[in-house]
Amino acid sequence: MRAIVVTNQAAGTSGMTLAKRPEPPAAINDVVVEVHASGYVPTELAWPSTWTDRADRDRSPSIPGHELAGAVTALGYGTTGLSVGQRVFGLADWHRDGTLAEFVAIEARNLAPLPGDVDFTVGASLPISGLTAWQGLFQHGRLQAGQSVLAHGAAGAVGTMVTQLAREAGAYVIGTGRAADREKALDYGAQEFVDLDNDSLEDIGRVDLVFDVIGGDVQKSSAALIKTGGTLVTIVGPVEARPADGLAIDFVVEADRAQLTEIVQRVRDGRLQTNIGTIATLDDAVAAFNPTERLSGKTIIRVRS
């Protein structure tokens, strides 16, 4: 099969190549999926799991990408809940070869059915950003109607999901980003916007929940704004700043079939809009991941047209 492979961590995305790789077999509890569309997170090549397995053994050349939408082509021994030919989408294991390929082997539990009226491109854009937003807001942040949310990176792939899901849950959402992101953040439902380069974050007052995708000084400033009993949720690694009278939680997103089903249903009925920017073919994927200008929205690779 054809796949995007990486062999040199220091080379970053410029070290990506389109190569031939063996098609993966279906192990116990796995399915093999013919990938129609794949998502990719820009920080993947800095993750240890891209380069080593769970026993810390080198596994390069590795195939990045962990979001996919496609069709099941084979079932491993003991696999239940899915069938050959079924349309699916989901989140591949961090420590295994990923989804920037024509086929991927993936645990069946990491997939959810993709309804026939949802395009594969849309399906591939949902798993990481949708699940990250869902788990950060509701599992870790325990968001309730009437609370306030400070959503950093509100025009980004995760931030637009955070904003929409928080608004639907009855929260008041303050988005942040660069000046150029203001209109997009407001279009996706933020009720206020803070330009982090020019506005003072402290002017927004106190909030119940901070959803942090930036870290550093922004995280430290945000922690000081959290109300008593509030929560700072971050996806950028160990917490650097804790609220004085609240919780601070860092987490790594996990596959969850029930949550994926909730998310895709919201897309189907118009309550949730995707944030897709560039759509490229597998042949053009390396160029798409090495852009000459700042991208807007999530890059999706259309593996099959």
Q: Is the pLDDT of residue 230 over 90?
A: yes
SS3 104: strand
Please state, in angstroms and as integers, the Cα–Cα distance from residue 286 to each residue in 27, 254, 256, 275, 297, following that order: 29, 27, 29, 21, 17
pLDDT tens readout for residues 202-226? 999 999 999 999 999 999 999 999 9
**How far apart, in whole angstroms, are the C-alpha atoms of residue 50 and residue 68?**
17
- CB neighbours of residue 168 within 10 Å: 13
Q: Is the pLDDT of residue 295 over 80?
A: no
Size of the chain, expressed as the number of residues it contains: 305
Burial, 261: exposed, middle or buried (Cβ in 10 Å; 0-12, 13-18, 19+)?
A: middle
* Listed residue (258, 254, 282) closest to 94, CA to CA: 254
Please state, in angstroms and as integers, the Cα–Cα distance from residue 208 to each residue in 16, 142, 197, following that order: 42, 10, 23
Confirm if 35 and 103 have CB atoms less than 8 A apart.
Answer: yes
Average pLDDT over residues 274-286: 95
pLDDT attached to residue 293: 80
The token pair that represents 142 in the structure block: 């325990």
Range with the lowest mean pLDDT among 138-142, 192-196, 286-290?
286-290
